[in-house]
Amino acid sequence: MADERALDEVVRFTSDLIRIDTTNRGGGDCRERPAAEYAAERLTEAGLEPLLLERTKGRTNVVARLAGTDPSADALLVHGHLDVVPAQAEDWSVHPFSGEVRDGVVWGRGAVDMKNMDAMILSVVRSWAREGVRPRRDLVIAFTADEEASAEDGSGFLADKHPGLFEGCTEGVSESGAFTFHDGAGRQIYPIAAGERGTGWLKLTARGRAGHGSKVNRSNAVTRLAAAVTRIGAHEWPLRLTPTVRAALTELAALYGVDGDLDDVDALLDKLGPAAALVESTVRNSANPTMLSAGYKVNVIPGEAVAFVDGRYLPGGEDEFRATMDELTGPDVQWEFHHREVALQAPLDSPTYARMRAAVEEFAPEGHVVPYCMSGGTDAKQFSRLGITGYGFTPLRLPEGFDYQAMFHGVDERVPVEALHFGVHVLDRFLRTA
Ligand SMILES: [Zn+2]
């Protein structure tokens, strides 16, 4: 068990890290260095030898390795990002960079996304140093920059330029998983992430004949673009069940005592009530038009019109996604990837998944662990290029009524102290046995 001091430290570290403003506004506007130095100092005090790594000045990553007792075992990567999304202080009940602990809750940007996990990792490793604990597998600990933008200064840079630091790593754990999902009917579900949809941000370009707004024009770029955008927005994507989602649906159906007929998934989702939220965004690909741009004067038909679409595809779904986009855009509109990231699928029959599950069940015996697929993406996508299978595992026991999903990039982001303590115990147990 993690000691008392680890429980104190996890709160203090979460709070301290929140106070170090690492707002990532995109376009390179961020400075993680002070947070990276803070994390590196905490690791150094525990006898580790962390490296500070930068592609761009100030955009600092931290990597350290803790040698395991079994040199023949594969290494395990434990990672968390140091940057956060912006927060507007006037919208908040407490200042978003105060790290204030009020009534047993730590407040501030990064409290759940994901300075909490960074603090949990640091606390666990430091408690091991005090007790002389060594894990079985080598543990590679990475704190990354730039997760909230392109990852080019963070995990992407580490995977490209420093693959040797991850030598032997076959699996990784990081954000979004093993939190309490209350279904409103007394059930407590702990979803562990074993997959991520891929990212397909698209740029659509329609070209046509420019000309006077009063003349007949059958090749109007705006009309062509609007038609394509409408088709994309209205498209009903077919159901596609990946192994993770299939398992999630089957396990949830058993938990709810309902017919787990996967031939009628929409009916099954209805029967699951609020718990359907755990799977409904990951049973199909999706594509939402988000930006439009064309023209400069009301009586001038422009020769070009541009739109952007936020597309997401399931593991194994990219080919279908591309073919569908070809079809929906049609011959008059070109599309290209403005940004593309792979989809991930992690196995559920691995010893690592079983150990994550056992660690949660030990400290939350009332909970039901189910796998789930994330609808968006994390740094695990970049690390997958090194052959590292990613799971989402940031254990938090949350009280009923605490809207965890709303905390991500939301106003009044916060985390209960009790949730952090649970996280330290579960992470400690998992990492010791992993
Ligand atoms: Zn995050």
Cβ neighbourhood burial of 60 (10 Å; 0-12, 13-18, 19+) = buried
Indicate whether 434 pLDDT > 90: no
User: Can you give the pLDDT at residue 1?
Assistant: 84
Q: What's the fold here for domain 198-240+284-341? A: Alpha-Beta Plaits (3.30.70)
Residue 131 is among the residues annotated as catalytic for this protein: no
* pLDDT, tens digit, 9 for 90 and up, residues 61-81: 999 999 999 999 999 999 999
> Is-contact 47 32, C-beta < 8 A?
no
What was the pLDDT predicted at 260? 87
Residue 406 Cα to ligand 1 midpoint, Å, equals 13
DSSP E strands in 197-327: the ranges are 198-207, 211-212, 286-294, 300-301, 304-313
- Going from the Cα of 26 to the center of ligand 1, the distance in angstroms, rounded, reads 14
Q: Tell me, in angstroms, the distance from the centre of ligand 1 to residue 177's CA.
A: 11
Q: In angstroms, how far is CA 98 from the centroid of its own chain?
A: 24
Q: What are phi and psi of 359, to 5 degrees?
A: -65, -40
Q: Mean of the pLDDT values across residues 224-250?
A: 97
What value does the mean pLDDT take over residues 259-268? 91
To which residue do tokens 């011959």 refer? 331
Neighbours of ion ligand 1 (CB under 5 A): 113-114, 175
> Edge to edge, what strands does the sheet with 414-416 contain?
101-102, 105-107, 414-416
Instruction: Encode pLDDT of 293-346 as tens digits.
Output: 999 999 999 999 999 999 999 999 999 999 999 999 999 999 999 999 999 999
Give dist(CA 187, CA 149) in Å, integer.
Answer: 35
Average pLDDT of 226-247?
97
Q: For residue 69, with 0-12 CB atoms within 10 Å meaning exposed, 13-18 middle and 19 or more buried, which class applies?
A: exposed
C-beta separation of 43 from 125 below 8 A? yes
Q: How far is CA 8 from CA 2, 46, 126, 428, in A?
A: 11, 16, 12, 15
- Of the residues 146, 147, 183, 428, only one is catalytic, namely 147
> What pLDDT is recorded for position 265?
94
Q: Ligand 1 centroid to 205 CA: how many Å?
A: 31
The fold for domain 4-176+378-433 equals Aminopeptidase (3.40.630)
Question: Could you give the percent of the chain with pLDDT greater than 70?
Answer: 100
- Residues in CB range of 303: below 8 A, 6 or more apart: 207, 208, 209, 210, 221
Q: For residue 83, indicate whether it is catalytic.
A: yes
- Beta strands 367-374; 188-196: pairing state: parallel
Tokens 């755990």 belong to 278
Q: Domain residue spans in the chain?
A: 4-176+378-433, 198-240+284-341
Q: What is the pLDDT of residues 384-428, one digit of tens each?
A: 999 999 999 999 999 999 999 899 999 999 999 999 999 999 999
Which of 128-162 are b and which e, b meaning 16 or more Cβ less than 10 Å from the residue's Cβ?
A: beeeeebbebbbbbbbbbbbbbbbbbbbbbbbeeb
Dump pLDDT digits (tens) for 201-222: 999 999 999 999 999 999 999 9
Output 150 or 423, whichever has higher pLDDT.
Answer: 423
> Does the pLDDT at position 185 exceed 90?
yes
Dihedral pair phi/psi, residue 185, rounded to 5°: -125, 25
- Per DSSP, the three-state class of 72 is coil
Q: Are the CB atoms for 328 and 206 separated by under 8 Å?
A: no
| CB neighbours of residue 240 within 10 Å | 17
Angle of helix 221-234 relative to helix 318-329, nearest 10 degrees, comes to 140
Q: Is the pLDDT of residue 21 over 90?
A: yes
What the block records as the tokens of 105 is 């809750």
Q: How confident is the model at residue 146 (pLDDT cuts 50, 70, 90)?
A: very high
pLDDT at 340 (0 to 100): 94
- 418 alpha carbon to ligand 1 midpoint, in Å? 21
* Residue 261 confidence (pLDDT) above 90: no
Chain-centroid distance, C-alpha 426: 20
Residue 184 Cα to ligand 1 midpoint, Å, equals 26
Whole-number Å distance, alpha carbon 321 to ligand 1 midpoint, is 25
Residue 211 CA to ligand 1 centre (angstroms): 47
Strand ranges for 179-233 from DSSP E: 181-182, 188-196, 198-207, 211-212
- Residue 321 phi, psi dihedral angles, 5° rounding: -60, -45
Indicate whether 257 pLDDT > 90: yes
Q: What is the mean pLDDT of the chain?
A: 96
Q: One of 9, 32, 83, 118 is an active-site residue; which one?
A: 83
pLDDT over 90 (residue 376):
no
- What's the 378 CA to ligand 1 centre distance in angstroms? 7
Tell me which H or E stretch contains 303. Answer: none
Amino acid of residue 299: N
State the distance from the centre of ligand 1 to the C-alpha of 113, rounded, in angstroms: 4
Region 155-172 average pLDDT: 98
In the Cβ-directed half-sphere of 150, how many Cα atoms lie within 13 Å?
Answer: 11
